[in-house]
Amino acid sequence: MESAGPPSSAPEHDARRVPELRPPAAAVRATGKGWGAHAGLLLIAAALGLAVAAVLWLPTLVAPPEVHTTAAPAAPSRPATGDPSASRATAAAEDSRRLAEQKLQHYLKRRAELELLQAETWAEREMAVAAETVRTGDRLFAERRFDVAGTRYAEAASNLETLATTRPERLARALDEARSALDGDDGDLAAHHFAYALLIEPGLEEAEAGLARAEARAAVLERMNAGQLAELAEELDAAETAYRAAHDLDPDYARAADAATRIASLREEREFGTAMSATLAALDAGRLDAAQGHLETAARLRPADKAVTDARRRLAERRRSGELVRLRAAAEKQAAAEAWEEAGRLYRAALKIDPAAGFATAGVARAERRQRLIARIDHYLADPTRLHAPEPLAEAGRLLEEAAVSTDAEPGLAAKRARLAGHVQAASTPRAVTLRSDGLTEVTLYHVGRFDRFVEQRLQLLPGRYTVHGARPGYRDVRVSFTITADGTPAPVDVRCTEAL
Predicted confidence (pLDDT) per residue in 456-470, tens digit = 999 988 888 889 999
Flag whether pLDDT at 30 surpasses 50.
Answer: no
Mean local confidence (pLDDT), 34-38: 33
Q: Please report whether residue 323 resides in a domain.
A: no
**Which band of pLDDT confidence, cut at 50, 70 and 90, is reported for residue 12?**
very low
Q: What is the pLDDT of residue 36?
A: 33
> Once rounded to an integer, what is the mean pLDDT over residues 389-393?
87
Q: Tell me the pTM.
A: 0.48
Regarding whether 405 and 470 lie in a shared domain, the answer is no
Q: Name which of 3-7, 137-141, 404-408, 420-424 the model is least confident about.
A: 3-7
Same domain, yes or no: 231 and 114: no
Contact of 15 with 172, CB cutoff 8 Å: yes
pLDDT of 70 over the 80 cut: no
Kindly provide the b/e burial profile for residues 15-49, where b requires at least 16 CB atoms within 10 angstroms of the residue's own CB. Answer: eeebbeeebbbebbbeeeeeeeeebbeebeeebee
Provide the pLDDT for residue 52: 42
Lowest mean pLDDT among 68-77, 105-114, 180-189, 283-292: 68-77
Instruction: Please indicate, yes or no, if residue 69 is contained in any of the structural domains.
Output: no
Confirm if 446 and 468 have CB atoms less than 8 A apart. Answer: yes
Asked whether the predicted pLDDT for residue 154 surpasses 70, the reply is yes
For residue 193, pLDDT beyond 80: yes
Are residues 442 and 423 part of one domain?
no
pLDDT at 273: 92
The yes-or-no verdict on residue 314 having pLDDT over 50 is yes
Q: Is the pLDDT of residue 18 over 50?
A: no
Mark whether 273 and 179 lie in a shared domain: no
Pairing of strands 449-451, 478-484: unpaired
In a domain? residue 437: yes
pLDDT at 178 over 90: yes
**Residues 107 and 198 placed together within one structural domain of the fold:** yes
- Band (pLDDT 50/70/90 cuts) for residue 486 is confident
Q: Is 346 a domain residue?
A: no
Tell me the pLDDT tens digit for each residue of 99-138.
Answer: 999 999 999 999 998 988 888 888 889 999 999 999 999 9
| Average pLDDT score over residue span 239-249 | 92
pLDDT band at 393 (very low <50, low <70, confident <90, very high): confident
Whether residue 324 is contained in a domain is answered as no
pLDDT average, residue stretch 370-374: 92
Q: Which residue range(s) make up the domain with 397?
A: 379-427
Contact 270, 251 (CB under 8 A): no
Segment 225-249 mean pLDDT:
91
Average pLDDT, the chain: 82
| Angstrom distances, CA of residue 206 to CA of 12, 198, 202, 343 | 19, 9, 11, 82
Q: Can you give the pLDDT at residue 128?
A: 93
State residue 327's pLDDT score. Answer: 92
Please indicate, yes or no, whether residues 99 and 161 belong to a single structural domain of this protein.
Answer: yes
Look at residue 10 in the predicted model and tell me its pLDDT.
36
Provide mean pLDDT across the span 90-105: 91
Q: How far apart are CA 263 and CA 281, in angstroms?
A: 27
The total number of structural domains that make up the chain: 4
The three-class DSSP label of residue 81 is coil
Residue 330: inside a domain: no
311 falls within a domain: no
458 and 488 both lie in a single domain:
yes
User: Which of 70-79, 266-275, 317-326, 375-384 is predicted least confidently?
Assistant: 70-79
**What pLDDT, on the 0 to 100 scale, is given for residue 268?**
85
How far apart CA 107 and CA 114 sit, in angstroms, is 11
Pair 18, 54 in one domain: yes
User: Of 282, 303, 324, which residue sits at a domain end?
Assistant: 303
Q: Which long-range contacts (CB under 8 A, 24 or more apart) does 276-279 make?
A: 276/307, 276/308, 276/311, 279/311, 279/315
Q: Are 153 and 229 found together in one domain?
A: no
Instruction: Report the pLDDT value the prediction gives residue 76, as an integer from 0 to 100.
Output: 36
Average pLDDT over residues 26-48: 38
In this prediction, residue 404 has a pLDDT band, given cuts at 50, 70 and 90, of: confident
Determine the pLDDT at residue 484. Answer: 87
- Average the pLDDT over each of 74-78, 95-99, 242-246 and give the range with the smallest value: 74-78
Does residue 72 belong to any structural domain of this protein?
Answer: no
Indicate if the alpha-carbon torsion angle 217, 220, 224, 226 is positive or negative: positive
Q: Please tell me which residue, 406 or 390, carries the higher pLDDT value.
A: 390
Considering the domain architecture, whether residues 111 and 129 belong to the same structural domain is answered as yes
138: enclosing H helix or E strand: helix 124-142
The domain that holds 484 is classified in CATH as 2.60.40.1120
Q: Of 303, 319, 343, which residue constitutes the final position of a domain?
A: 303
Main-chain dihedrals φ then ψ at residue 493, nearest 5 degrees: -110, 125
Q: Contact at 8 Å (CB) between 134 and 104?
A: yes
Tens of pLDDT, residue by residue over 249-302, are 999 899 999 999 988 888 888 888 999 899 999 988 888 889 999 989 999 888
- Whether residues 15 and 118 share a domain: the answer is yes
Does residue 463 share a domain with residue 416? no
Query: Poorest-confidence range of 55-59, 110-114, 189-193, 411-415?
Result: 55-59
Phi-psi label, residue 343: left if phi above 0, alpha if psi -120 to 50, beta otherwise: alpha
Q: Domain boundary residue among 273, 303, 333?
A: 303
At residue 387's C-alpha, the angle toward residues 382 and 389, to 5°, is: 140
